Every structure is written in structure tokens, then in C-alpha cells.
Structure 1
Amino acid sequence: MTPVQHNPLWWQRRIIYQIYPRSFQDSTGNGTGDLRGVLSRLDHLQTLGVDAVWVSPIYPSPMADFGYDISDYRGVHELFGTMGDFDELLRETHNRGMKLLLDLVPNHTSDQHPWFQESRSSRDNPKRDWYLWHDGKEGGEPPNNWLSVFGGSAWEWDEATQQFYYHSFLKSQPDLNWRNPEVATAMFDVMRFWLDKGVDGFRVDAMWLMIKDDQFRDNPPNPDYKEGMNEDQKLKPIYSSDRPEVHDIVAQMRDVLDQYPERMMIGEIYLPVEEAVDYHGEDGQGVHLAFNNQLFFLPWEAKPLADAIDHYEKLLKPGDWPNWVLGNHDQPRIGSRVGREQARVAAMLLLTLRGTPTIYYGEEIGMRDVPIPKEEFQDPQGINMGKSRDPARTPMQWDDSDNAGFTTGTPWLRIAVDFPRVNVKQQQDDPASMLSLHQRLIRLRQQEPALHSGDYKTVQADGQVLAFLREAQGHASFLVVLNLGHKTAVFKPGAMSLKGTVAVATIPEREGIAVADVLDLAGDEGLLIRLD
């Protein structure tokens, strides 16, 4: 057992909370969330116990992809407010002892960004090489077979200059050319602009896509492609993503951050975990956290989960720091993936695993996906491909008043019909609520070195039961026992001696009960036990 770190960096002890600003709180009555809305709800975050806030893009944008198509990296979209509103939010976040992280989108811009407007104006414009332009094949075909995440070819013909430009996502989101040092310099200056304001770091969007093959070779077919998978998965993107040179870019971004005290960087990296961990880099030259998305896709069963956790732990190098996330703005909500009761068990898993957890807004009250009719789709992925991300982006449910307290106007997306029962106000004084469970877990995690900084060890993973230990030398140890099924189950400690007290339980009546030897678990039950 290793001794606990006496001075862990802030991001190693804190809990990150993702806010999708369009859906958090509207302060103007226009039906869309904004910065002053976020400001008005900081007390909720403080009461919950989270201490770092990640805000999805707030920059000026045509909103073709709801802010991930940026037309000005140094401003605030009028929909969300003003730079003064942002400055006040940053100040008040810091006054509450919390950190503020921004989304950085360095892979692509909007086609309305002045950089691209110059780039497409002529072939000899000084910014022409800031983006990926290429001649087509004979017959007018695109330069190669690379596919867009949002469907179809990733190449768009530009009639005015008679070349194609590349876009990993929408055609209105042209990719930047990171092989051009002027692009790197411009983006590093963007980072410095926000860091100088006092932002505590960035979640970097689409990090693994930032540089492409310089020979523009065709991607090979994906032998694992099956009917029902996204169109872009027909090919293995070995030449359009995760190129070796991307790690040099990440190291340069880290150099910028390291010029400021206690700033950090999270990488969005949708890759197999064996490849994602490489983004930590060598000797502190990569991301601080490489987002670990495994819980989005793993079967909700004890052995696959335990195997994945153990495998991930073994992949991490000394100095790397683990992290876990259950949901975000691109994935179905955990409550819809595993059910309302198992979502409580999932919360206990997230908040007791080793590493930094990220909570997606609404998870703390058990929000689930809201069915959105096709004719009401807002998400371009849903409009183009039929797989909308809108159901996981619906407005936060604050109380049982009209529109769940989110807006006095017409909300930009439908609100869940269960909001009169599933909301913050309803749950805040109920010890059996999802919100109260989160608060108890977070409070204990912050207090106990074993939970925020200690070692992890799997104890049991068979049938429905996943059990593991969290230990730190010189401090109390904890056993986490999770029943991942709806039926009763039994935990047998085997060689270990089980004697302790239930500190937190998904069924609060169990808290404070002494336990020893064999444990009988109700369906959908999780126990966090302080060992004697």
C-alpha cells in the first residue's frame, strides 16, 4: 500500500461538474440557458460539493453545432451574455473555492471564422494553408475516402477556388492545419488570453483528431463494422486521427499551461484506453487527464467492469492520474442506459473509484434521456444521421414550477415529463433521494484520503457483485460493494476479514449498521463500508 500524497494537485482531489450552458439556467426568458443563469445556480454546485466546473463552449458561433463551430475564440456569444458576465462568473466561482474550466476547440473552426474567410478567399491568401485544402481526383472525386463523423465524405468542394477543404464534422466546421506553425501560435495565444483572465484550464475537444496524415492516404476498411454502426465507422481512421505527431502538439499546449500556476488540461480522446493513456505523455508533457470514457460503453456487469478497471490501472504510468465519467453531452444519460435504480449504484461507483470523477449536469438528481420527436431535432448529428444527442441535453430540472424552473419562456428543448418529481427542490431535503446520495458520497470522498487519493484493489467480480477496496497508508480503509442486478445477491469476503460500518448506502436506512463476514445485498444496492 502506498502512502497518500500529502499535497495532491487540486485536480487530483476535486470533482468536476460539466455544465451544458444552453440547458442549465435561463436568466432572460428566451428559453436558452446563459452565463448569468449559471451564476445564479453556483450555490447548488457548492451545496452538492463539487469544486470544479467545466462549461461547454460559450464563444461566438453560428451555432450549427451549438458552439463547437467557433467564429471568435476570444469572445462570448450574445446568447450566453457578455464578457462582463463571464468575468463575474469566473470571479464568483473562485470566491466559492471552485475552479472554472473552459472547452477549447482547436481542431476546427466555423466556416464563418475570419481565418477561414481569408483562407477560402483565394489560393494565394496568406491564410490559405491554415486549413486543409487539396485538389480532387480526376473526375471531380474527393482527394481520398476520409469520412465525416456526421456522415458522408469529409471533403467539401469550394467552387470559387476549385479545391476541396477537409471537415471532420459538419461542412461548416473546416479543420485547421496544425502542421502550419502559424496555426499553433494563434491557438496558443487563444489559450493565453483565457489563462490571463484566470481560467483554471481547458477540456480540449477532439484532441485525437488535431493532425492528419501528410500524404492524405486512404483509410482502410474496418473489418469490425456492423450494420447499425455510424457510417464513419466503416473505415479505420488510421490516417485521419491519432497520428504520432499529435503528441508533439499536446506537449506544446502543456508548455503553455505550465507557464501559469496550477492550471490543467483534459483531453477528449475517443480511442481504445490503451491508446488514450498515451496522451498523458512522458515526464509530465501531456494532458493532466485523458478522459476515460469506458463506462459509456462497457456491459453493466461485474466482471467486464472489474476487468476494465484493473486493465486501466495497469496501463497508467507512475505520475499518470486516472479519471472516470458516466455521461456527457454526446452520450445517452446513465439513467437511461442502466435504469433509474442502477443509476444510484453507478453514482457510488463513479465517486469511489480511484481518480478524478466528472459529473454531467442532472446526474445528481437522476435525470434521464427525454424523447425528442424527429421534427424537433436540434442536433445536426440527429438531423443528418437520425441519432440525435438532444435527449441527453434537455434543460436542468430545478423545481416543480412551469418549465422546471429553467425558463419563463419556451425552452429550446423539451423538458422531461417527470420533472414535478425529479428536481432539485424535491430532492434536497429527502435523505433517500439521488441528490442526497451524491452529497453524502462527495462529502465522505473529500474527507477520506483513501477515497480521494488511495489505492484501488478488486476484491470480487462475479455474478451481480462488484467489490473493491480503497486504502491509504495510515488512514481508514473502505470496502465498496455494488449489486449490479435487480435481484438479491450475496457478497462473501473470502480470504479478507470483513468487519466495519456502513458509511454510505444507496438505501440510507442501512447507514450506520455494523457488518461482518457475509453480506446480503438487496437488488440495486450499493454499500460503502468503513473497515475496522
Structure 2
Amino acid sequence: MKESEWKNAVVYQIYPKSFNDTNGDGIGDLPGIIAKLDYLKDLGIDIIWLSPFFPSPMADNGYDISDYQGIEPSFGTMEDMDRLLFEAYRRDIRIVIDLVLNHTSDEHDWFKESSASLDNPKRDWYIWRSGDGNGGPPNNWRSNFGGSAWEWDERTNQYYLHVFDKKQPDLNWENKDMRKAIYQMIHWWMKKGVAGFRVDAITYIKKNKEFPSFEADGSDGMVTIDKGSLNQPGIKKHLQELKEKGFRHDEVFTVAEAPGVPADEIEDYIGEHGFFTMLFEFDHVDLDLTASAKWYEMKEWTVHDFKKPLFDSQRRLQEGWSALYIENHDQPRSLSRFIHEGFRHTHSAQMLAAVYFLMKGTPYIYQGQEIGMTNVEYPDISSYNDAVSRHQYDYALANGCSEEEALAFIWKRSRDNTRTPMQWDDSQQGGFTEGSPWLETNSNYPEVNVKTVKAASNSLYTFYQKLIAFRKHTAVAPIIEKGAFQALFEEDDHIVAYKRTYENQEITLYANFTAERVPVSFNEENRQVIVSNNDGLGPDSLWLEPYDFVIFSNVHYEW
């Protein structure tokens, strides 16, 4: 995929397990995605990012891969994958797949060999260490899913390292044979016809070779594994080799999940001389987390907290390019997170879309975002599938929270919020399946579903269609791609506003990101109102009602 293509593209993320089930087993599948390609084409997207569909024991819903070159049987067959690639290409849609390179499943053949004996040729493909000599693990690192990051293996009397779940042992990127096998797998998928890769948790692949213990940051005596495994010195050597030997040429689309990259190093990772096409940044979506990342310690946030990292990122981008998003499979629904209760409807959802769609970068839409799907509030922790949610719930209880308080934190932050089945219509289970879904459907599906939303006047779905078309318009696209970024109302804690300027053309957005009525002076007398979610707004307006937005431009455009 050429640079000119992805810079003008919009990406739609599909979580296959929850998108569309065609065989009634309650699990989404590849034929279900094929059946909805015309829906996505009609929306106007150009790229589909598929979350993992590989064989997996599903300890982490597919991010624990047991075969990089296979298809999870519950999702379909390789023939289904070939047909998806063909049918998408026929509609001018490209497929990008998730590439999980920090770890595999403990059921992967590589790990089975590695754990077979101390002298197995693949022993060093994973990270093994002896205990601390006192009957404990090698160090006090805590995994991101809770508990020690080391798991004991009785067969070989050593521990293996896992940044995430114990069923996700970390690969040893210091082993050149392992790296070579990874690159061969990447080439195999490229020959299959995938256009690129979303690279998962890539900044964890380099470890502190000394594997030291650090000062504990919690009552459990452990410390976050980030101290010794996130964006460590020397990682750039691995990433450069991945680019040169794995992706090999510039027309492979790559977007990295790269937490921990310092702001002043981001442009080393992206752009013409970087490692990836673009990367995801997290400060604007993790604004409610404290440094401890404990959900029961979540903090209040302000509009300023939301827009500052976005504005800072836009100002930093010189040669590089951004991945623009407000929700995905690891994040809560944006309506539930950013919008005050009582205002979660089409009006505010349109505002959210407009705020991020006109920045420099490629916009990502997560399945269901285009119809305004919201968080789910299951009445009991037993209904939750997400391993992180269950860990955070137990952690909250262990630190003095009541069951009600612990569950309230899960309602806000659980990854299951965006993993509930896609809501296609108002029939049973939202039209996702004729069986029992693997995860309980959100109870609001009779009102919030594709069929109902598309039929409504001025619907959110239609708004996304028009926003995509506006962004791609021949007069607008150069402003999006090359235009300078100017923050407006930068210190204001109600309004998100910015201007994009290229040559003599301008686009300006103003949005009230609060549930309050706020005064504003636009100073846009010679500009056309392109679109607003309040028909009464114009250059002479003096107020923005809750979650109002307006876009002005000197480019003539009929919305």
C-alpha cells in the first residue's frame, strides 16, 4: 500500500469473535465478515484491521497465538481467509492483520519444544531463568495481568517470563533463529495478500538482560514489569531489523502499539526513516489512569487533560503520521468514557467523531462506534470474560474496596466494554447470532443497532459516511495531509478547537466537550459553516450548547 493511499484512508477495526456469527455457535467468524463487506464499503472505509483470528486457546481472546500460519477453527478456515482477502480487494478494501510478536501461547509448537528439555534447540527461543535461590522466582517483576511475571515449569525446573498472562510466554528476541522464523512468517502473510500489520505490544520485546529486582511499588512486594521490559535500551536495533528483514519494503502498512515511547523519540519510530508507518499513542485514552494503572485508583480528568496530548502530538508531527482513534478492543466505549451521563446520544457522538477526524493522521473506527455502542454493565463479575477485568476486580477487593465499588470500576474500564457482540438489528442477540453469544449482548441493542440507527434522520452512521467523504474531498485532503496545526482555546477547560491551514485554505473546528452551555467567539466571519450538530450555529453565534460542534472552512463544500 503506497503512502498516498494510507494517508487518504480510514481504517475500520474488526474484533472477529464479536462481529458477525454465521453458523450459530455464538462466535463471530470470517464468513460473517465477508457477509458485511458491502456494509463497510458503504460506510466508506478503506482498510480493515483484523484482531487475531489465529488458532488459540483464547486465554487472552486470540492474543495468545498457538499457530501464526493457521486459522482458529471457530472463526473458519484458510479458504475463508483467502476469500475474505479476495472479496475485500474486489471492493478496494485492504486487510491489515494483528501481528503479536512479544509472545506466543504456551500451546504453540515452539514453546512445546522449548519446554521439553534444557538442551532443546528451541530452548533459547523463550526466556528461562532459575529461581532466586530461596524458593522464589528470579525477580519481583509483576505481569501486566497480575501476579508474578514468572511461571514455574516442573519439567525443567526453571521459570519462564510472561509480560502478560501465564499462558503467554515471552519470545526471546536475542535469539537470531527465532527472529528469522518470525520474518519468514511475515513474508508468508504478505504473499497471501495482506496489506500490512498492526504490531501488538512491540515495545516489550527488549528486556533488561540483568533481570534485576526493583523497589516494590505495591503491597505485594512486586514492581510493574514495565521497569525491566518496556522500551528498554537497545530496542531500536531489533525494530530496525524487523523493518528491514521482516517488512522489507516501504509499501507495507504498519501501525505499532508502542506504549512507553518518550514523546521526544516518537518521530524515530515513524515516518520515512522510522520503523513503522504510524503508531498509537495512549495519553488521551489513559487519562483516567494513575501511574499504578490500578482501576480502583482512577482519577478525575478534565477537557484540558484530553486535548493536551492530542495537540502536543499534532505539533510534534513533522515527517511522521499519526494513528487517530478514540476507542478500540482494549479501551472502553468513547461515548461512555468521554460524555456525561444523560448526554450519550447522536449529538455528542457526532461531536466526538468530528474532534479527531480532521487532525493529521489516519482515523480508526472501532466496530460499533459508528452506531454509538456504549459500555455494558453486567451485574456480576462472573459475566466478564476479560482476564484483566477479573484481576483488577480481585485486586480492588484485596485493597479494601467493596464488591459494589470494585464492580463499578469494571463497568468503567473493562476491555469487555468493546468486546460485546456487534448490534446489527433489534432481533434477539442484536442479530449477531442465532445461538448463545460467547459474551452477553449489551441490553440496549433494541435501540442501538445498525438497522435502527441507519433508518434515523441525521444518524450517526450517516454522519461518519459524510465525515469520511469530506476528509477525502480533493480540496480538503491536502489540508488534512499537509496542513499546519494551530491549537485554539488551548487553556480552556470546555472547548476543544483547532485550525488546519494549507496554502490559502483553512478548516477550523470548535467543539464544546462538556455538558455545560459555554460562551465562545468564533471570529470566522468569512468562512462557510461546513457542518454542525446544531443548525443554529454560525459565525456570529455567542454560545455553544452541551456537546455542540461546528466546522468552518473557506473551501466551498456541500455537506
The AA in structure 2 aligned to 1:374 is I
Residue 466 (1) aligns with residue 496 (2): yes
* Whole-angstrom CA distance in 1 between matches of 2:365 and 2:337: 16
Deviation at residue 484 of structure 1 after TM alignment? 0.8
Does the aligned pair in 2 maintain the 1:465–1:484 contact within 8 Å? yes
Aligned to 1:295: 284
DSSP-derived class of the 2:486 partner: strand
* Whole-angstrom CA distance in 1 between matches of 2:313 and 2:553: 25
Question: What does 1:373-412 correspond to in 2, within 5 Å?
Answer: 373-386=380-393, 387=410, 388-412=414-438
Residue 498 (1) aligns with residue 525 (2): yes
Deviation at residue 151 of structure 1 after TM alignment? 0.5
Aligned to 2:460: 434
Aligned to 2:187: 192
Residue 422 (1) aligns with residue 453 (2): no
Question: What does 1:337-352 correspond to in 2, within 5 Å?
Answer: 337-339=337-339, 340-341=344-345, 342-352=348-358
* Whole-angstrom CA distance in 2 between matches of 1:221 and 1:352: 43
Deviations 1:265-318 (A, max 9, x none): 1111222651671551685241111112232133764433443233223433x3
DSSP-derived class of the 1:26 partner: coil
Deviations 1:349-382 (A, max 9, x none): 1212221111111111110111233122222223
Residue 127 (1) aligns with residue 153 (2): no
Deviations 1:379-430 (A, max 9, x none): 2223333254222210111111121111111111111222111111112132
Does the aligned pair in 2 maintain the 1:202–1:264 contact within 8 Å? yes
The AA in structure 2 aligned to 1:530 is S
Unaligned 5+ runs, structure 1: 1-6
The AA in structure 2 aligned to 1:427 is V
Aligned residue among 41, 44, 50 for 1:46: 41
* Whole-angstrom CA distance in 2 between matches of 1:500 and 1:76: 52
Residue 153 (1) aligns with residue 148 (2): yes
Does the aligned pair in 1 maintain the 2:140–2:221 contact within 8 Å? no
Deviation at residue 97 of structure 1 after TM alignment? 1.1
Does the aligned pair in 2 maintain the 1:370–1:414 contact within 8 Å? no
* Whole-angstrom CA distance in 1 between matches of 2:363 and 2:381: 33
* More moved, 235-244 vs 107-116: 235-244
Aligned-pair Cα RMSD in Å: 2.3
Deviations 1:141-163 (A, max 9, x none): 11111111111100011111111
Residue 451 (1) aligns with residue 451 (2): no
Question: What does 1:19-58 correspond to in 2, within 5 Å?
Answer: 19-58=14-53
* Whole-angstrom CA distance in 2 between matches of 1:487 and 1:320: 36
The AA in structure 2 aligned to 1:120 is S
DSSP-derived class of the 2:212 partner: coil
Deviation at residue 235 of structure 1 after TM alignment? 3.7
Does the aligned pair in 2 maintain the 1:293–1:326 contact within 8 Å? no
DSSP-derived class of the 1:123 partner: coil
Deviations 1:210-267 (A, max 9, x none): 1211111223445xx7x9xxx8995472322211222222212222465346211111
Residue 370 (1) aligns with residue 376 (2): yes
Aligned residue among 227, 235, 238 for 1:249: 238
DSSP-derived class of the 1:297 partner: coil
* More moved, 138-147 vs 77-86: 138-147
* More moved, 435-444 vs 85-94: 435-444
Unaligned 5+ runs, structure 2: 288-299, 394-409
Does the aligned pair in 2 maintain the 1:251–1:281 contact within 8 Å? no
* More moved, 34-43 vs 304-313: 304-313
Deviation at residue 492 of structure 1 after TM alignment? 1.3
Aligned to 1:271: 260
* Whole-angstrom CA distance in 2 between matches of 1:463 and 1:213: 41
Deviations 1:41-95 (A, max 9, x none): 1111111111111000000111111111111000111111000100111111111
* Whole-angstrom CA distance in 1 between matches of 2:516 and 2:311: 26
Does the aligned pair in 2 maintain the 1:58–1:77 contact within 8 Å? yes
* Whole-angstrom CA distance in 2 between matches of 1:92 and 1:454: 35
* Whole-angstrom CA distance in 2 between matches of 1:232 and 1:519: 56
The AA in structure 1 aligned to 2:439 is L
Cα 1:113–1:199 change in 2 (3 A) is same
Aligned to 2:329: 329
Does the aligned pair in 2 maintain the 1:29–1:409 contact within 8 Å? yes
Aligned residue among 340, 364, 380 for 1:358: 364
DSSP-derived class of the 2:38 partner: helix
Cα 1:440–1:257 change in 2 (3 A) is farther
Aligned to 1:527: 550
TM-score (norm 1): 0.91
User: Across the two proteins, how many residue pairs are aligned to each other?
Assistant: 512
Aligned to 2:290: none
Deviations 1:478-523 (A, max 9, x none): 1101011122222213xx553322222224x45xx7x334543221
TM-score (norm 2): 0.87
DSSP-derived class of the 2:285 partner: helix
Residue 516 (1) aligns with residue 545 (2): no
* Whole-angstrom CA distance in 1 between matches of 2:543 and 2:554: 17
